[in-house]
Structures are given as structure tokens and as C-alpha cells.
Structure 1
């Protein structure tokens, strides 16, 4: 095996070998690799703007003119064994639908598959992904441990993939993922709540349209909301114009001693996400109409961010 000149499909090294071969060919052709996203390659000429996104052995190709796309695909076919599937319609479980105004991304088929797996196709839909004020805990004194934790892990892992196009369930799924090691009946009931919500919103997703090239980020955080370790959870969303392009719901790695510190850490995480997005837009040759803006609703956190003396006083 070590003497092979080509990687066999199915080996652990095959994806890396395939990416190395393809990326080197694209670089020789004049493409430029993105510094912040290794799967993105761009080519810019006088009237040509080509973009290629790589996921293992799947490619997404787009351009400002269809003729250049066909020319590139023809060159790819002469060098690699591949099949042209036409216009983007279904990619990695995400359905793409175009209309006269923009692009709609959803995971209808994936969500229906999850409902079938959980035997909840006939469940009654619910209007929210979680109950108002409900908080999960690892405490098993009031709730019985699940007899089949594997089923819970499979369903929650599938729900985590749904958050690629469903921001509305990201926060709840983030909480469910924290109890994969020892789920209880309360955690399973909360997961069923998410499934019932998805049952009534199967076709919901993301809609992208050209309505402005300005970046705005909204960050927020609770304070010591976790009942077990008292850590806070950061949530933020990044908009390009009115289109949501990035979001996150993640527990902070440290215990914040005040709501100010929790909000300040949320700002820190939002800035860390905003910078690579600006770099990607620069790779795509997309100029922003104005400087990126970050919104925060905590006055003390804003004061801490604008005054270095207060920053060092708070540690």
C-alpha cells in the first residue's frame, strides 16, 4: 500500500490525497487559495470571477458568466473523473431553490428523515423549539436516566447538523448536546419538543438576496445560566445586508463573575468570527459599503470595551 502512486478510495488518506491533487491543479491553473478557508479557491481576471468550494470529492463552482463555468468543468473532466450534476439543487443535505429575487436554503428532506427515525412523523406540531423558562440540568434525582442513550445521541447529532440552516433551534440543540454522556427523560422530552417544532416548520430555512453589502453583528449572552457549572452561553448572528450568513450558540469556557464580563466575552467571540468573514469577502473581491458594526445591549460591556483602564481593572 505504501508504494501506491494513487490513494485508494475509502482509505483514511484518500480525502487528503484527493484534496492535495485537486488544489495543486487549481493553483497551477491560476486560482488562489483562501487564507481563512482552505476549501475556497478563487480566480479573478479582467471580466472573470470564478469561485470553487471543495468538500472531499464534491465541488461547487460558480462564476459571473456561465460560459466560464462550462470551460472550467470541461478542463476538470479532462484531468479528473467527475460528473456534472448541473445547477445547484441539493448539496450535503441542503436543498437550494432559486427564484427571481434570491436563493432559499432549507433541509426539508433531512428533517423528514429525522422525524421518521424518531417515529414522530405523526406528532402534533409545536410553535416553539423549547418551553419558555425551561432549563436543563445533569441532575438525575428528579428524572430517570434513559435506557437507550444511543438513540438520544443519534437524534441530537442529526439535529446539530440541522443548525446549519436553522438558527432558531441552535440554542436549544446546544443545550441538548451537553448531556450526550448521560441523558435523562427530561433531555429526551426537550429533544421531542424540538422535533415537534421542526414538524411544523419543515420548509423554513435561510433566504439570501442582494440588498446591501454591509456587515452587522448582534451579540448577546446570558449570565451563569447553566445550573450545573454556572457558565454563560454566548449567542451571536452576523448579517450581510439583511441576510444571515453566520451564527453561533456556545457555552463560554470560563465562569464569568458578572453579567458585564459575560457580555464582554460574547463581544470577543463575535469579533473573532467577524474578522475571517471580512477576509473571505476580500478573497471574493466583494467590497463592503461601510465598516462592520457590532451591536451589544450591555452598556457596561461597551464601556469596558472602550476603556483599557477598566479592562485591566476587571482582569
Structure 2
């Protein structure tokens, strides 16, 4: 009889220190165990995947439910849509988010439209696509992109992005059980850099709901995925600037109260939480790794401008990558770092 690492947890253990890959694997194991129609598929999934987010699942649930696919993203998406349309829960992995583009036609023109096109006679709501995204430190222009802005305007498609192991498990289980096809974008730098006390039982996070990580009254910071941790670094620099930055941060601004929001769901994003926060603080900065032009940031900013205009004390500032391909070198100069975010906070507070 095969076992998973969950079989060896202490009795009555309700939380366990999981990394993101183990939390994701745990979520998939729970889905497979609770739903006999669920299957996990993708390139190299049989041995656990390149990031080990499916480690042990094939041994535990068998080769008919956890299996490799050809190296063809369009085929993975098309086959998974067919599984979902036939009533299965298809949990597919695209090895890097950059390679969703070969499958874009299947996702946008088939998965997202199937319910509408058929008059609700069929749908691809059982489809979940997991895929690693954002900068990895050495991935370059084909393995480090943020691609959420391409998925945001697609009707009929959910898009979520966890910030760590707890949200990785909670959002993935919610995605798998959602009545709509869902893309789960997993920031790959968090696979190895964070460990959290993750609930070991069935646990999900509602899709479409932002999370206020820190409450504040003077300025709202909005982000998602890995840049949230850079925002936290910037907030620490604001409060306690090192000697080389003290000349940039006047003492009058060091006590500024910053509210930090994790969007969590890119589509449909939580307008209410965001707008209420900005109405309270009067100032807002939106931080992402993707270029600002035509981005999630610009969409969020446009809604804030419309719904909170009379409360704004400064223009909404969007910080993101530059309008260039993701570079082979110099990632820290491409994506917003803590100092760049700190400068944005100071600029907005001084306006």
C-alpha cells in the first residue's frame, strides 16, 4: 500500500509547516481523495513535476489519475477541457506560465466560452490550470514573466495568485471546486523561500476576495504574489530607514500608516475592499512585476479613479516592470524593488 507524507503526521495535527510545493501537493491529494472524477496531468507530473508540486501523487492514486502528457501546451489544455466537459475535475499543470500562450486559443475561445456558447448545457467548470509565474532569479525572458494582464479581461475565467503556502492550498482547492474554469498562477520564487503552518485538513479561500494584510490610515499599497514581500520591505524601510537612506525619508513621514492589500484574485478582483481602503486613506500605490501598460494595475487604478475620485489626495501610482521583454540579467532593475516602492510612497505622501 502506498503512502503520502500526510500519513505520517502526528495524531490530531491540524497545521503543519509546509512549503508551497507541499501545500499544493496536499491540496491536490485532498481533491483526488474526495472526488473520484479528479485527475492530475501535465509534463513530468508522473515523477512529481519540476517543482515537486505533485510528488507522490502517482504512487498514491495510480497512473490512470496522475499521468504525464506530451510536451504540448495546446494539447494539455484541449484534453483537459474535454475531461471537464465530460464531468471530470481536470487539474492540469503548464510547466511555466510563459507557455500558456500556445494554449491561449483553447483557454480563451473554448474553456471560458463553453458554458455561454452551449446555453449552459455543458461547461468546463471542472478545469483548473496550475502554472508557475513571475521572476525566478535566472529565468530570463521565457521563464520569468507575469502574464496575469492577458487573462484579466477574459469573461468566464477565474484567475488567482497565492502569496505563500497557506494561500496556495486554499486558493487551489477553491479553484478545483469552482463552477468556472480557473487559472492558478503560482509565484515560483515562493516555492523554495517560504514555509508556513498550513491547515492539514480541507481548507479553501474564497475566490474574488482580497486580503488586508496590514491596516493603515494614510496610504494604500495593493499587490499580489511575490511583490507583496517587497512591499513589506519598503514599509520597513519607511519606518526604520538605514543610514544610507535616512536623507531620503524625512522624520515627518516615517510614522505614515500604510495599509497593505493582497488582491489574491485577479479576476474577478475585489473592488469593494480596494475602493473602501482608498476612500479611507486617500492615497494608493499598485505594485506588480508585469509592465504597467495595459495591466491589472491600470485596470485597478481606473476603477479607483472612478469610484473614489473625490476622496483622493494624490494621483494613483502604478509601479511595475518596464515595457520591455523580461531581461536575461538585471532582474532587480526590471521589477520594482523596495527602494523604488519607498520612493513611490514618499512621492505620493508629499503630493
Give your verdict on TM over 0.5: no
Structure showing greater relative contact order (alpha-carbon pairs closer than 8 Å, 6 or more residues apart) = 2
* TM-score with structure 1 setting the length: 0.28
Structure with the greater alpha carbon radius of gyration: 1
